Structures are given as C-alpha cells and as structure tokens.
Amino acid sequence: MPPDPQSDDPLRDPALYANRELSQLDFNFRVLAQAQDPLVPLLERLRFLCISCTNLDEFFEIRAATVRHALDFDLPPAPDGLPPATVLKRIHDRAAELVQAQYRCWNEVLRPALGEAGVRVLARDHWNARQTRWLRAYFRDEIMPVLSPLGLDPAHPFPKILNKSLNIVVVLKGRDAFGRAGHLAIVRAPRSLPRIIQLPQKVSGGEHDFVFLSAVLSAFVDEMFPGMEVKGAYQFRVTRNSELIVDEEEVENLALALRDELVGRGYLRAMRLEIARNCPKPIVRTLLENFELPDEAVYRIDGPVNLNRVIQVYDLVQRPELKYPPFQPRKLAGGDAIFERVRDGDVLLHHPFDAFTPVLELVKQAAEDPNVLAIKQTLYRTGKDSAIVDALVQAARNGKDVTAVVELRARFDEEANLGFADRLQEAGVQVVYGVVGFKTHAKMLLIVRREGRKLRRYVHMGTGNYHAGTARAYTDIGLVTADTDIGNDVHQVFQQLSGLAPATKLKRLLQSPFTLHAGLLQRIERETRHARAGRPARIIAKMNALNEPQVVRALYAASQAGVSIDLVVRGACTLRPGLPGVSDNIRVRSIVGRFLEHSRVYWFANADAPELFCASADWLERNLLRRVEVCFPILEPELAARVKGEALDNYLADNLNAWELQADGSYRHLVPETDAMPHSAQAALLAKLCG
C-alpha cells in the first residue's frame, strides 16, 4: 500500500487536538463556577447549578451516546487519536468529578445559604412533627393514588424505566397478600407528579419552604406495602441515549417516521445510572446488569438524583433581591412602521439587549399588510404558543403565500415542531421539512412586498432561533435588510430548500454545505498570505464550538505565518492555543455569564479592507458540512463597526467572566490585573444599550 501523503503533515499530529467530548464536558465546570461565585445573586447561583446538571444529562444523552456508538461500530478515532473506549472511560472519570462538585455545591453552599435567606429546601431529617403529618397526608391524598409499585419476581420482570425518570427501589421483608416472599419492588414516579412540593406557610412556618418528591416517596414508601417491612428505599435514575435515528432515504413520510421514533425515545440504550449513595452493592449490581451498564457508569449520589428539578424553586420564589436586576431591552425607533424603517437602512439587533419585538412586528405587519404577497421562513425552535407561528397562520388566512421550512429534527423539540407544523398546514401554509440528510439550521425570513410597480424583498437573518423566550436569555445578532443582493441570495436558498433550484453561486451569502466551509478556509488562507507579505493580518471569531479539522489546521498555519488570532469559543474547542511553533499567535477564551453566549461572528482584517460576517453556524464538522446554514455579511460600515465593537472587542476586554484556554486543554479563570479596571462584556452592553 502506498504511503498516505497526508500522514506526513505535522499539523495532523493528534497531540495538536483536544477531544471534543471532553472539552464539551469541561464547559459545565465553568457553568458550575457561576453557582459557586458569591458575587452572583443567590437564586441565580441555584439556576446555574441546575443548568450544569441539565447540561450533563444532555451530554450523556447525546455526546456520550455518540462515543458509545463509535465504540460499538469500531469507528475511527477523531483527530485527537483517542480510541472511543478511552474517551468513554475519561468521560466517566471527569463526569464523576463534576457530579461530586455539583452536590458539594448544593449540600455545603447553596442549600445552607438559601436557608439563611428564608428559602428552605427541607431534608427528611429536618422535618418537624407538624411538617411530617402534613406530608404524610399529602402522600396519601395526592401521590399514592397514582403510584403502581411493582414487586420483582418471575411473573413480574424488571419494568421499563423511562429516561431521566425518578424511581425508588425498595427492599422488602415478609409476605404479601398472596403469600409471596418480598424481596425487591420498584416504585416509578409518574411525570404528572410535581418534583418539588411547597409546604403551606401555616404548616411550615416559612413562606418559602419546599421538599423534594424523592424525599417524600422514600419517607412514606412503607404505606404502599402494608404487612411487610421496608428494609430500605433507594432512589435512582437512568439516563438513556436520546439521539433519534431515522433513515430518511428509506422513509416515505419523515413526519410519520419521526412520530414513531419519538414513542420509543425514552427507552433507548442506557448510558448512566444515578443512585442513592447508601444503596447496597447487590442492588446496584442488579440495576447495572438490567441496564447493561459497566461499573464506571454508576454515580452514587449524595442527595436527590434529580437535583436539576430544584430549578422550580427559582420560579416559585418571588424575591427580586435574590435574582439579577430586571432590564428593559432597547426598543427600535420606528418599529411601528418596520418596512419604511428598513427601507431607509439596515437594522441591526443585538439580543437580548435589543428587544426581539421588531422581528415579531415584522412578521405581524407582513401578515396584515395588503401589499405583502409572500412570506417564507425557516423554523428550528420557536417555543410554545409562538407569536411567530400565530402570525404565519394569520398571514395564510389573509391570503398570503406562506412557506415554512420546519426542521423536524431539532433535538428535543421534535414533538413541538410536529405540532406546530400540523397547525400551519391546517391554515394553508406550505410546510417543507427541509432536505434529506441535512438539518436546516439556517435562520431566515423573507418577505415579498409590492411597492409601486416593483417587488421588494425584505430579509431577516440571525444567529439565533425565532424564539421569543431565548431572545431574552441568549446573546444573538439579527439583521433586517432590504439589500437587493442579499434578498436574491435568500430567495435562492429557499428555492433550494423547496427542491426547485440548483446550488447556484450566491453573491453575498456563504452557505453550508456548499460554500461556507470553503469560504472560511479561503479567508483564513488570505490572512496567512497577508501576514507573509508583511501586511496587517488578524482574525477574530466568536462561536459556540470549534472542531472542524481543516479549519483548525488552517488556523495553525495562519498562526505560524504570524496572523494574530483571537477566538471566543463558549463550549467545546479542539484547537490547542499557545503551542510553541504551532499556535503561539492564537488565543482562545470562553465567556460564561448571565446570558448564554450564542452569537456567531467572524471578522477578517484583510489588510485594510476588513470583512465581518454573522452566521447560524459554529465551526463544527456538522455545521459546515452536514447542515443547511447561512453566513451573512454586515455591509453597512457603521453597523459592522458596531458588531465588532459590541460582540468581539468588548468580549476580548472581559476580565470578569472570561476563561482562557491553556495549551494542555485546561481553562484559567481571568481576574483583573492590579492596575486594570474590571470589565464584564455583558454588563457593559446592559449599561450601554438598556440603560
């Protein structure tokens, strides 16, 4: 066999790459650090703790499950060279550290601090007689009637356990009504039961006193087994693979196939077992064997196995002094006449500092405007009771030609998207389910309006979803424009999605899977040429994650040529900065603060002719090569300068919420130097745009 010419490329050395899954897992330590920060309001610290727990659930459901799939099918390792078995072992080791830190934060820091602040989450050994009586009555009246305990014997094999559901394994002694000897029973908590129970003030004495459902079940489980002795009751939870696999080439109706897959999602392969710390080893062994899990996949928990459910306390407790101060997003002047406003010049929106209202108004006004002929929109995540969906329904009823490209495979939103897709179709909207084999992740809205004797296209594009809720919690950039070239490009992309157009060359947009990957490589290589020629050369980019190996190699080559590169990467990053002779000129930082950093912005110095793009795509293999994404330029110099200043330079100056990636893959939390002013990028934008 002839030698592989690429094997001699020093930039392919596995030592130059971090593992994507382990890097993503480490992001949750940075989230947890927010929960441990005494400068963060107390209930917000609780929220960050819960986010780190929910993120870890999703990590096992998706990322760890992907590694397990690679192991089962003997897939080749990633550019870091680690075999899947090694990655899986390191995942469990690192996740165990994270879980210990989470429960230490809860038990030793947040729970006591909340109690001192008058928000008590009461453990069983802290219930007084009155609280115990009330909880026992609550158990008998509200909980026990919906429970169906199952004794385990040859006639009753181990039941199916739903993904992330709360369960109690009970050890019994004695004989039941039929004379059967007790051994083990399983009590499954239906999803209909509240996981957090608030005690009445007249019973508990406190306005904000709560108890975990798991504690109530464990305390009164004996009531379900009269005449038998309960020797022990141990809560457990199993996390399963949640990645839906639908062979789109083989199905005739994607929506129907997806509905069928959703039915079984909760019972896919087990990935992790969480169980009470004091559960005896034989019972743990029984559960591991039932779920076909190795020893390292068990996590012994010092507290409730569903700790993330304490997030309900955040919503139930109305204590403004324990939360971030509220803010009012900046409103767009002239938003009540949005078409006239955009015709005068492009509109830039930086959420959540700028209100999401102009996007909603754009669709609402288009739905009612008699001059609007057609509306086309991509929908990836919209949330429940979406005003966007309402407006599209109204537009169709008003006789507009409305097309919605609905991505049914938006992870964990599949069921919601199927529901509103049905509603749109019933209203007469033409619903398109995207392209076989490629998720439609692009965020685009196109409105065709008659103005005098000609038609004008109005476009909104963004880095985030058409979801009013996340627009208040995520940082994202949106552009509303009537630029002719951009309008033509977006029209072409919608034609592709509906199956009516070839992959024609777009004038302004870069598009995955056709031109975005190549366009990024060309621009990185252009900076490399500028540096070698002695011209100004710099790259600044902000994204959620980075792992595409060709892009990483291009950045390494640019660094070797002298290009100064700053990357703001929130989550996983497989590039290693600061490697001598390879990435000396690359710096990578992660910002974790009040809002989830979600905007994707790419800036290239290009000597004295800089280019700035915003995009729906991260620099991941899936986004650049296996999805439909759009990357759009900010053409007006004033707006481009604003994006660079607010979304890039501002974040490079952050010395409060920034974590700097080290060459060994670890992160260092930055603190202001002795003579430096403290600077939080998000706080600065709140003060500037919402003040």
Give the rounded distance of the alpha carbon of 585 from its chain centre.
30
* 458 is known to lie in a ligand binding site: no
Give the separation between CA 487 and CA 456, rounded to whole angstroms: 8
* 411 is known to lie in a ligand binding site: yes
* 570 is known to lie in a ligand binding site: yes
> Cis ω on the peptide bond leading into residue 149 (within 30° of 0)?
no
Owner of token pair 């101060």? 325
Q: How many CA atoms lie within 13 A of 510 on its CB side?
A: 24
- Which is catalytic among the residues 208, 441, 460, 517? 441
Dihedral angle of Cα 491, 601, 547, 59, to the nearest 10 degrees: -90
User: What is the per-residue DSSP string for 75-126?
Assistant: PPP-TT---HHHHHHHHHHHHHHHHHHHHHIIIIIIHHHHHHTTEEE--GGG
| Helix (H/G/I), strand (E/B), else coil: 445 | strand
Q: Please, what is the angle between helix 549-561 and helix 516-532, to 10°?
A: 10
10 Å Cβ neighbour count for 609? Answer: 7
10 Å Cβ neighbour count for 65? Answer: 21
* 167 is known to lie in a ligand binding site: no
β-bridge pairing 430-432 and 439-440: unpaired
Tokens of 204: 């508990």
Give the separation between CA 571 and CA 56, rounded to whole angstroms: 13
Tokens of 646: 């607010």
Which residues are CB-neighbours of 419 under 8 A, at least 6 positions away? Answer: none
Which residues are CB-neighbours of 157 under 8 A, at least 6 positions away? Answer: none
Helices (H), 441-592: 484-497, 516-532, 549-561
∠ CA 42-44-47, nearest 5°, is 120
Q: What is the DSSP letter of 175?
A: B
Q: Max CA-CA distance within the chain?
A: 89
* 456 is known to lie in a ligand binding site: no
Owner of token pair 């680690």? 82
Residue 669 appears among annotated catalytic residues:
no
- Taking alpha carbons only, the member of 675, 646, 672, 642 closest to residue 657 is 672
* 622 is known to lie in a ligand binding site: no
Query: Which residues are annotated as catalytic?
Result: 441
Which residues contribute to the annotated binding site for ATP? 55, 474, 570, 598
Indicate the annotated binding residues for Mg(2+): 381, 411
